[in-house]
Amino acid sequence: MIECQAGLSLGQHLIKRKGDSMPSVTFEEHLGIKLQERTRKPRKTGLTMVIDRCEPWQYQQGYLDAYADYIDVVKLTEPHLIQPLPVVQQKVDQLRRYGVTPQPGGIIIEIARAQGQGLDVLRKLREMGFEQIEVSSSANTQREIEEEAAYVQSAKGLGFKVIGEVGKKFPEGDTSRKSDEVIDVGETVRQMKSLLAAGCSYVYWEGHLTRRLIGEHPAEIIAKESTGTRQLLEVVQAVGVDNIIFEVSSIIPAKTRRAMQFWFVRLFGPNVNIGNARIDEINTIEATRLGTHPIFGFGPAGDHPWIHSTLDHGGSASPTWWKEYPTYPSPIAGEGSPELPTERRRTIHSTGR
């Protein structure tokens, strides 16, 4: 055991809860190695929003001790509505102690507005310590922008940061889609820009829409690169990547979550905004952002790309390492090897990648 001053072990000397507002030395810093740099709190890009699936606050505390620096927002979903108020209040207070912004789920706000209590509920949420809300239309018909703008301004007047949302979980009634897997780029851009102009700080892009747009597993994502990803990039070019938080649903299969999170990093780099993360997956999301974690199914692009780039460039990774290596469908554990087109097989054989 390494001893420090006053007979304390290294761990006792260095570790103090984030809730006590004292920075701690990371394992990386102690070892003297350097990883890909990430934006730091209070960050404006590279945000991670965690969706609270009603885990006990004691369970969350362990993850906050380890990863609070990488969690920007925690969204408390509508099942919290049936919990005792002191339990919810305990979570809100704990998140704030750790420097994490608590946000009620969009469905909570939707229910309140549907029952004519939109402003009253905002006041009560603010009294509890919530600092951010979401203006969404997951279950309701999409409102006129004038009505949304008025509500956004009311929320901001109470001290809330407001995040808009574009897209619905199901294609029926979603004016931003032309079909299940095809969006209306112009309408999507119009809605996002309207919410930003109304005073929203960011816009969530509904994860159940984007998974249908870009694909749900590596081979499909690669196959739809010229269609779904192309449409996504058209929206991003018009709206600005830093204004969008890309949701990845927490209830879809793990391999789909990882594939989508990887693809957003592949497209936009380590400091892309990602939403609806599971708190028990913050470690792998950060490792994906840093390029130190394997993501199967994408070929060399998913094979520890930052590490490979660091080796290939004499100890310093390329400034755009996340898109340095090619993608092609490759084996996923337990699922066999996908068939590659003949031309792609020739490329791999001749280049080794």
pLDDT in tens, 249-303: 999 999 999 999 999 999 999 999 999 999 999 999 999 999 999 999 999 999 9
Q: What is the pLDDT of residue 24?
A: 79
Closest C-alpha to 298, from 266, 270, 346: 266
Within the chain, residue ranges assigned H as helices are: 10-14, 27-31, 57-67, 85-97, 106-114, 118-128, 145-157, 185-197, 207-214, 218-223, 230-239, 254-268, 282-290, 305-312, 342-351
Q: What is the pLDDT of residue 317?
A: 98
Q: What is the pLDDT of residue 215?
A: 97
CB 134 within 8 A of CB 75: yes
DSSP notation for 266-322: HHH-TT--EEEE-GGGHHHHHHHHHT-S--TTSGGGGS-HHHHHHHHTTTS--TTGG
CB 159 within 8 A of CB 127: no
Q: How far apart are CA 23 and CA 69, in angstroms?
A: 10
Q: What is the pLDDT of residue 19?
A: 53
CB 193 within 8 A of CB 203: no
* Residue ranges of the chain with per-residue pLDDT less than 50: 1-17, 21-22, 139-140, 340-353
User: For the segment 3-13, what is each residue's pLDDT rounded down to a tens digit?
Assistant: 444 444 444 44
CB 279 within 8 A of CB 68: no
Q: Verify cis geometry, omega within 30 degrees of 0, for the bond prior to 329.
A: no
Three-class secondary structure of residue 154 per DSSP? helix
Q: What is the pLDDT of residue 263?
A: 98
CB 190 within 8 A of CB 183: no
Closest C-alpha to 261, from 310, 320, 221, 233: 221
95's CB contacts (< 8 A; 6+ apart) are: 64, 74, 101, 102
Q: What is the pLDDT of residue 258?
A: 97
Q: What is the pLDDT of residue 136?
A: 81
Q: What is the pLDDT of residue 331?
A: 72
Name all domains of the chain by residue range, CATH numbers in brackets: 34-293 (3.20.20.70), 306-351 (no CATH)
